[in-house]
Every structure is written in C-alpha cells, then in structure tokens.
Amino acid sequence: MQKTLGKQLLVAGAALSALAMLLSGCGAGNGSGTKSTGASKEQSPAGILTSDWKGTLPSPDPSKVYNNPQSYDNVKDGGDLTLASIYTANWNNFQVDGNTLYMGGFWDMYQPTLWNYTNGGEVSPNKNFITDAKVTSKDPLTIEYDINPEAKWNDGTDIDYTAFESTWKANSGKDATYTPTVTDGYQDIASVKAGTSAKQAIVTFTKPYYPWQSLFPYLLNPKGAVDAKTFNSGWIDKPHNEWAAGPFIVQSSSKDQVVFVANPKWWGPKPKLTKVTYKFLEDTATINAFKNGEIDAVGAASTDNLKTVMGMKNVQLRLGYSKSTFVLVYNGQAASLKDIAVRKAITQAFDASTWNKIAYQGLDWNPPQPGSEVVLPFQKGYKSNLPADAKFSVANAKKTLEDAKYTKDSSGYYGKDGKEINISYTYFGDSATTKAKALAYQQMMKAAGIKITLNNLDTSKWSDTVAKHNYEIMPLGWSATNPFGQTSLYQLYGSDSSSNFTFVGSKAVDEKLRKPTTIEDNDEAIAATNEGEAAAFELYGTIPTDTPPTYTAVKKGLANFGPAGFQNNDWTKIGWQK
C-alpha cells in the first residue's frame, strides 16, 4: 500500500509533508478522488478500459488524468460511495503516527486543505479556505494569507490566524514533547501574527524556506494542539468533528469502518455524495467485496485482481502512474542491523529484477528499480541516487560481510563472535503476492548467507507496529502529496526526524539534507536533493524497491475518481455521473 511528494508513510493524499506512509504492496492500485478540471478533453481512452478489453494493457500518459473528469453540474446530487482503506489509530495527520496515506485521504474530506494541485503539480490556493497567499517580503521572507471570511470550525468559531499559529508551533520542533511528522520549514518561522484583521495571517521566517507553498497543507485547530498530550494522543480513535472544517464530517468510526456524511455547516459547494463509507479490509476481502458489489472501487495492480475485475460487467479499469515508491526500511536500532556492513550486505543481496517479476507477474509493468524515494521517475531532475556498491551482487554481499570479519557457520549463515546474523522481516496481510515476495526475499538473503525469519501480521497491526517500531526489516511505501520532493528529504533521512523509521543518520549528512529548501530555483533545489539523498543512501538505512502503477477498477459512472497525477481530492465533485 502508499510517506505524496509531500510524503506520507505506508509502503510507499495530500499529506502534511511531501511524503505520506502507506502499507507496502497493499492498495497500490487504489485510486483516489481528485479535483476535476471538468475538461473531458483531458480524458484519454488509453487509460480507461472497459472490462471486455483484450490484449496488452496500454501505457498511460503521465501528463493526463484518467479519473472520468466531469463538471460539478454533470454529477448527480446524492448517492453513496463505499471504498476500502487501512485502519490508522491516530486521527492527527500532523502527528508522526497519523501521517499515513489513508489518514491524509480522510483529512481531505473533513479538515481545512489550503492548496489545490493540477495533475502536473501546479499549485493554487483552495479558496474555500484561503482566498489569496502571497510573498510580501523576501528579506525576511514574509507570506500573507487571506482567510475566507466564511470559514469556520465546526464548533462555530472562526478559522483565523490562530490556526496558522497552532500549526506552526506544534510542528516547529521548539517543544520536543510534540511528535510531528516533520519540522522542516516550520522550524524556520519566526512568528505568526494577525494582519489587518484576525482573518489575515502574516507568517515571517527567520531564513528563507522554499517552496513555501509546501507548508500548511492543512490547518490544525488550536484546540487539537493545545498541549503535547492532546497533539500526540488526544486524537487516537477520536476524529474530533468539533475541531474540523470541511465538506464532510465523521458520522461514525471504529476499527472496522469509518462513515462520512455531508457537513451541514459547510459554506462551500455542496458535496454531491450524501455518504462515503471506508471499510477496513484485508487484500483478499477487498477484491471479494468489490466482486460482490459491497465496495465501489478496488486496486487492481495484481494478476488475480486484474483477472477478476476484467471479467465483471459495468466496470472500468483506470490506469495511471502512481505517486508512490515502495521501499525496504532497516531498523538501525535493532541489534542485528546496527552494523552498517550488515545493512550494506542485505542491500547488495537484494535482487530487484526478481522482486518486480513477482510483484507484477501477469501485468504489463516492468519498471527499473527506482533510485530515489523523494523524486518520482517521471519528474524533471530525477536520477538514481543509489551507491554504485548497492548494485545486486551476491558475491559482493558476501565480501562485505567477510571484510567486516563475519564468517559462515556450519549451517551456511554468517555470524560474528559466535552469534549468527538473524534478521526479522515483517510483512502484513494475506495477499499471495505479498507472501511470495517475503519468501523470495528470504531466499535472496539465504543465497548470500544471511538468515531471515519471516513475521506475518494482519494489516490491522500495521499502524501499531510502525508506531512502536516493532520491526527489523519492513516493506513500506511513500506516496507524494505534492511535487516538491526536496521538502521530504530531511523528513525521511534526518538523524533526528521522527519520520526516519530507519533510525540511521549523521550530522554531516543532515547538512546536505537541509540545503535544498534554502534554494528558490526548483531545478537547483532538485539537484541539491539528489546530492543529499545520495549521501543518505551511503548509510544503508533503506532501499527503494519498485514504483507501482495505479490500476483502479471502479463501477462505471463514478466521476472525478482515479489516477490524476498530483491533482488533489475535491470531495464536492466526486460522485456518480448523470
């Protein structure tokens, strides 16, 4: 499943940072509702197929959207939508444990989202919340945000400059008892004050931070961050409608499902859907639920799912490039992975070609191993930042261990000082493909003399496992929420970042990770990003494995939903076509 470039964590939404976490391999093909331009000419038949399609799947054009874009007036009033998702305990998407792709999707529905993105990544204010945002000074960098006069929290209080202030303070890192997803950018803010009125926020920086539009993706209600305890744990299994503001509210939530209904206090365009239900399901249950008509869309980026959906009536398959990168995370705090030689050896023993063949067996998708976790292969400036020594080579993996004084025991596994290397590989769900990848990984490492113990858990355990760091090697995914990969660099690799799930870093590398966001020119910033990521990869805390497609099967007629690049959710327009 998908840390968007804002990244959210999962096995690699709009997220709070460039990247959002997702569960690896789970939901890779799940589409998301996206903001439609209403221009059907953007719709290319190459990316939308009916269920009677025969032959090779066409390659989508990454510059186009494949979400059946329809104008607001061409979507029916009313109707329900039922989807599948993954349970996330913490409803605070700004807090590190709540920064998942799935929670980001929920926040798009019921919290203030400040920015709209086109499929290509161009950014503009979401005028339901801010009517304008502009630079009023470059020295010091000062941004003026004009807040929609009608914008109110659901408890009736105005959304004003104090929302910017609370968002800044909770994410600034100045109070170490708060555990935000990322402090980058926020830590460079000197002050947030009212402008000509409380409905205008003036944000002044101590030093420039670019792109400044990557900050404040959402606004955090001051009551939801009044203290560290509230920010960190006060949202666990509590969505807090009273602290929210958006086109939907949460009608009910449990560990089985979440139900959203239209918000009667919403001042913007009325949502077309009356109710949206998310069911928390395992992979096999998800495809069966779609087959039985219990949910309205499903990820189809696997052979079995594709065969199932292509045999159904009144179903469309919508193809596109995802904004996700799947990775392997090595927990550097684990005794078996503290030695960089071991981390380097398992990286060298990883066969991406075999991995891809298993992951995408039966699909017309064979991407090369990605070389970045923060810049997507189809973005300008992308390059592989993996070390030359990271290339697949069983012989080199063995040499790395032997040079570090590891020797083989009678069972054929390496160890040192009488202790055999034995690393746990934790994976989630009951998908046959996920299990096959785990077994293949175990065999890859065995060929290099490295013992792997497999640990399979239900997907319901994923959020808790990540939060408590109960893993050694774990497949995850990062999904880009915006096109600014440079803003995710410190988030993923910073030595003291709460989103660095490898716990591997150094102060020397940190300096390179911080540089890109000081550069205003985007091309130069991405070049610095590549340099910083290359230095981080030399520490061997993580490795990107593959970039999944987005194959989304939907009931025919679902509008403004599906692959659309960086285009973000507009839940007032998602619904059923007239």
Q: How many CB atoms lie within 10 A of CB 379?
A: 18
Domain boundary assignment for the chain = 324-548
Instruction: Provide the pLDDT for residue 362.
Output: 80
Amino acid 5: pLDDT: 34
Q: Give the torsion sign (CA, 123, 124, 129, 130).
A: positive
282, 429 Cβ separation under 8 angstroms: yes
3 touches 479 (CB < 8 A): yes
Nearest-angstrom CA–CA distance, 500 and 257: 29
CA distances from 320 to 22, 84, 191, 421 (A): 18, 19, 41, 41
Q: DSSP class of residue 99?
A: -
Report helix, strand or coil for 218: strand
pLDDT at position 15 is 33
The fourth-level CATH superfamily of domain 324-548 is: Dipeptide-binding Protein; Domain 3 (3.10.105.10)
Q: For 254-322, give the DSSP string.
A: -SSEEEEEE-TT--SSPPS-SEEEEEE--HHHHHHHHHTTSSSEEE--SHHHHHHHTTSTTEEEEEEE-
pLDDT in tens, the chain (578 residues): 333 334 444 432 233 345 777 777 654 333 333 332 333 333 334 577 887 787 778 878 888 899 999 999 999 999 999 999 999 999 999 999 999 889 999 999 999 999 999 998 899 999 999 999 999 999 999 999 999 999 999 999 999 999 999 999 999 999 999 999 989 999 999 999 999 999 999 999 999 999 999 999 999 999 999 999 999 999 999 999 999 999 999 999 999 999 999 999 999 999 999 999 999 998 889 999 999 999 999 998 888 888 899 889 999 999 988 889 999 999 999 999 999 999 999 999 999 999 999 998 888 788 899 999 999 998 999 999 999 999 999 999 999 999 999 999 999 999 999 999 999 999 999 888 999 999 999 999 999 999 999 999 999 899 899 989 999 999 999 988 888 999 999 999 999 998 899 999 999 999 999 999 999 999 999 999 999 999 999 999 999 999 988 899 999 999 999 999 999 889 999 999 99
**Inter-axis angle of helices 522-537 and 507-514, to 10 degrees?**
160
The token pair at 385 is 């930042």
- Does an H or E element contain 529, and which? helix 522-537
Question: pTM for the full model?
Answer: 0.84
